[in-house]
Chain A
């Protein structure tokens, strides 16, 4: 079974802090994704990566950056956290784009910025 592990389940940070959200998958998947989930808005894609050291902007990349130094790890960085970044963050992974496999999601990190 694919396992996608997010390092923290809950985080509370102050406005202006730099925040790192870590995600690790154990199935050698090429693709990794970061979404945020907000009530009434569904899941919105922040960034994704198709390979090591490769990244693509999603629909709402402003205020975020990512890092993928190793295939199994995809980090989301909030350079200077703001209250409107309070949300549930979901990491996901999948096989290559030519494959029809679904995304496998982690359990999520609920981030509160005060």
Chain B
């Protein structure tokens, strides 16, 4: 059964700094998703990663996938306050279910 674990679960950082959120998964997942959730809001899709070595970037966020290591990363470059949110990764099980990690709450301080 696919299990997805994120770390850290909470991240407080200064504006302008770089940091990485890690997402490990336990068995084969043919795709990996990243979502963002603002407080009191629903989840918004950020990235879909489909193959080993896939890298996608939007603004200050870059996501990558290493299927051999069963690891995806979400890298934040020069963080700004607007990036404060909870970020979830999710893997796709062989039955098509999306299994989510616990979420990483990012707080960017001015």
- The residues of A with any CB-CB pair to B shorter than 8 Å are 31, 33, 35, 40-45, 48, 50, 56, 58-59, 90, 92, 97, 100-108
Would B99 and A45 count as touching, CB distance under 8 A? yes
- Say yes or no: A90-B101 contact (C-beta < 8 A), given A97-B96, A102-B33: no
Would B97 and A40 count as touching, CB distance under 8 A? no
| 13 pairs, A vs B, C-beta closer than 8 Å | A31-B96, A40-B102, A42-B6, A42-B88, A45-B99, A48-B97, A58-B97, A90-B42, A100-B31, A100-B50, A103-B98, A105-B42, A107-B42
What are the 9 closest A-B residue pairs judged by CB atoms, nearest first?
A: A102-B45, A43-B100, A42-B102, A97-B96, A105-B42, A42-B100, A105-B43, A107-B42, A42-B103
Task: Return chain B residues, CB-CB under 8 Å to A97.
Answer: 96
**Chain B interface category by residue count:** 20 to 34
B14 to chain A, nearest CB (A): 25
B52 to chain A, nearest CB (A): 15
A-B contact count (CB 8 A): 50
Interchain CB contact (< 8 A) of B101 among A42, A50, A105? A42
Task: Return chain B residues, CB-CB under 8 Å to A58.
Answer: 97
A100→B29 CA distance, assembly (Å): 12
Q: Does B63 contact A (CB under 8 A)?
A: no
Would A41 and B102 count as touching, CB distance under 8 A? yes
Task: Return chain B residues, CB-CB under 8 Å to A50.
Answer: 96
